[in-house]
Chains A and B, each alone.
Chain A
Amino acid sequence: MSEALPFFLVWLVTWIALMAYLWRLESKMKELERR
């Protein structure tokens, strides 16, 4: 199973990056709506 770890890491890091970007967009949207 440890041999499959690189694939798991790549998948995880990609999702964290995409979710972080989505989170940034959502906070921008909330800020605009608040203003």
Chain B
Amino acid sequence: MRRWTSTVINIVMGLLMAVAFALAFFWVPPAKEFAERYGNGHIAKIIFVHVPLAIVSFVGFIAAAGFGLAYLVKRNARWDDISYALIEIGWIYALLATVTGAYFSKLAWGEWWSWDPRQTTMLLVLLTYTAYLLVRGSIEDAERKAAISAVYAILGAIASLFLYWVIPYLPTVMAASAHPSGIIARGGLDFSYRLVLRLSMLGFLLVFVQLVRFRASLSRLERQRLELALKETEA
């Protein structure tokens, strides 16, 4: 059943990504407002990769807090495996969102990094979860590691909520930011952009789900091997 589900998700995921890329590359026209502002309307298409990466990473961090809480309540190591997988892959997605954002910055404003409020908040998200990965890696005792990771995942999710959705939308911060999210928010991109963005969002979400499933299975296998090795040593 699990294998069958996985195969179906892989097929849907592959199709979605192929269709989204083909539509974005061959069908979606260059965005007028981006062409006027930055001289190349095609760079608006970067949102088909950048926006899903950023949003799915946020969803992953929030879900990780949920599984962390489940671990603290039930003390089932399986929840810790999933919480950790969500954060590790969420971190990769956030890193890729930062890199693709920096490339957009280079194309639009001529510099890779300009300490725009959006770039700064994303960097803080990355640093928050880099610290999580380092803290987790430094603890040897499995139960202590899982409990501290769970508490960190919950606190990290609260911080993420502010860094993704509160601070960037404060009026003073928005006024200081050159981030083009305002163009998208006020409907400055036509139907083709909204359609392909949704397809791409779903595609990147399914890739995320599959990677998390794989990472969590690997953690479970690692844990089982370790427990077996400990039993053998005790015997």
Judged by a CB distance under 8 angstroms, whether B25 is at the interface is yes
Q: A32-B225, A35-B225 are in contact. Are A4 and B45 (CB under 8 A)?
A: yes
Question: What residue of chain A has the Cβ atom nearest to residue B225's Cβ?
Answer: A32
What chain B residues lie within 8 Å of A33 (beta carbons)? 221
- Closest CB-CB distance, B149 to chain A, in whole Å? 19
What total of chain B residues lie within 8 Å of the partner, measured CB to CB? 30
Q: Is A22 a contact partner of B25 (Cβ separation < 8 A)?
A: no
Binds A, one of B68-76, B99-107, B113-121, B173-181: B99-107
Q: Is B207 a contact partner of A18 (Cβ separation < 8 A)?
A: yes
- Closest CB-CB distance, A7 to chain B, in whole Å? 4
What chain A residues lie within 8 Å of B217 (beta carbons)? 29
Judged by a CB distance under 8 angstroms, whether B122 is at the interface is no
B-contact 0/1 string along A1-35, CB 8 Å cutoff: 00110111111011001100110010011001101
Binds A, one of B47-55, B58-66, B150-158: B47-55
- Closest CB-CB distance, A33 to chain B, in whole Å? 8
Q: Is A14 a contact partner of B225 (Cβ separation < 8 A)?
A: no
**Interface positions of B from 1 to 29, Cβ below 8 Å from A:** 21, 24-25
What chain B residues lie within 8 Å of A6 (beta carbons)? 40, 42-43, 46, 103, 107
Q: Is A14 a contact partner of B96 (Cβ separation < 8 A)?
A: yes
What chain B residues lie within 8 Å of A4 (beta carbons)? 25, 42, 45
What chain B residues lie within 8 Å of A3 (beta carbons)? 30, 40-42
Q: Is A14 a contact partner of B43 (Cβ separation < 8 A)?
A: no
What chain B residues lie within 8 Å of A7 (beta carbons)? 24-25, 42-43, 45-46, 48-49
Question: What residue of chain A has the Cβ atom nearest to residue B43's Cβ?
Answer: A6
Q: Which of A3, A4, A21 has the most CB of B within 10 A?
A: A4
CA A32 – CA B187 in complex, angstroms?
Answer: 50
A-contact 0/1 string along B81-125, CB 8 Å cutoff: 000000001001000100110010001000000000000000000
Q: Is B24 a contact partner of A25 (Cβ separation < 8 A)?
A: no
* 10 cross-chain pairs, A with B, having the tightest CB-CB distances, nearest first: A7-B45, A3-B42, A4-B42, A10-B49, A10-B100, A10-B46, A32-B221, A14-B49, A3-B40, A6-B43
B-binding residues in A (CB < 8 A)? 3-4, 6-11, 13-14, 17-18, 21-22, 25, 28-29, 32-33, 35
A-binding residues in B (CB < 8 A)? 21, 24-25, 30, 40-43, 45-46, 48-50, 53, 89, 92, 96, 99-100, 103, 107, 207, 211, 214-215, 217-218, 221-222, 225
